[in-house]
Amino acid sequence: MRRSRFNPKGFHLNQIPMFLVLVPLALFMSLPIVFIINHAFKPIEELFAFPPKFLVNNPSLDNFTKLIRQASAGGISISRYIFNSLIVTLSVVFLSIVFSSMSAFALSKLRFRGKKTLMEVNNLAMMFVPVAVIIPRYLLIDKLGMINTYFSHILPLLAMPVGMFLVKQFTDQVPDSLIEAAVVDGAGYFTVYRKIILPMIRPAIATVAILAFQSVWNNTETSIMFTNRENMRTLTFYMNTLASNTNAVAGQGIAAAASLIMFLPNLILFICMQSKVMNTMAHSGLK
């Protein structure tokens, strides 16, 4: 009875104090999203209004019209940048999921020498910020002859120590008895990984997909450091430099529209997978 009152299936009067705290907090946390959406539809006079206005009074599509006009005036079509971003994003997300889940399965369920050392190396890698490894990354990409290729965008973003750590912690929750029963029935390690591990760690996989998508979709480092051909750069780099190629007044509206366009995929992906992300965070630290 106590448990049902504390966490009822439907609405209960005991939940009112919780809603009084969570609803205002949720509204406060959503203010940046509301501002980004409103800011993109502000006309020029509202963008430079003083004092600044949080909400738009006269919504307009002028910023998006100027963005499309400016993009079409360039020497390279915007469709090329979109194509590059799709190729790089899909490749990084897919390969990150495969490498993170495979390495997590090995470090969690298999027995081999040096397993603890490899896990410590992964944990140590989480301490390094991307700026600290820019020079080694460039030297590696240059020595491999990958400058101005799609591999120069994909390879530096494949390593995800945080994603591997989360998947490994989630994989620890899979009962060893399931794996032992599958091995007794004649299943190999790859079969166990594909038919037992992957279906049971879907929340962790969704989390890695979101982390990988955000890291590659918002990334400009690879386009700046590893490519010098305009037709090999991504949409994010193009959007960030588009406003600087116009005058200061028009550039503000274009930058606002570009920010909304680049932000929406992250928001939509997180909304679609947020339940699995919360499940991963709740279980990743449990043993």
Which burial class, exposed, middle or buried, applies to 283 when counting CB atoms under 10 A from its CB (0-12, 13-18, 19+)? middle
Give the pLDDT of residue 98: 92
Place of tokens 């899979």: 174
Residue of 216, 218, 222, 211 whose CA lies nearest to 240: 218
Give the pLDDT of residue 93: 92
Greatest distance between any 2 Cα atoms in the chain: 73
Half-sphere exposure of 173 (CA within 13 A, CB side): 19
- Cis? peptide before 175, omega within 30° of 0: no
Alpha-carbon distance 64 to 76, whole Å? Answer: 19
Give the pLDDT of residue 57: 85
Which burial class, exposed, middle or buried, applies to 106 when counting CB atoms under 10 A from its CB (0-12, 13-18, 19+)? middle
Residue of 215, 106, 104 whose CA lies nearest to 165: 104
Q: Name the DSSP class of 52.
A: P
Place of tokens 């448990």: 3
Q: How far are the Cα atoms of 9, 14, 101, 136, 155 from residue 160, in angstroms, in the given order? A: 38, 42, 11, 17, 11
Alpha-carbon distance 211 to 209, whole Å? Answer: 6
Half-sphere exposure of 260 (CA within 13 A, CB side): 19
Contacts of 211 (CB under 8 A, 6+ apart): 96, 160, 162, 163
Give the pLDDT of residue 287: 43
Q: What is the mean pLDDT of each run of 10 residues along the chain (287 residues)?
A: 57 77 87 88 82 83 82 74 91 92 89 87 84 85 89 88 87 85 85 88 87 88 87 86 63 82 85 66 49
User: With the C-alpha atoms ordered 235, 240, 241, 244, is the resulting torsion angle positive or negative?
Assistant: positive
Half-sphere exposure of 194 (CA within 13 A, CB side): 5
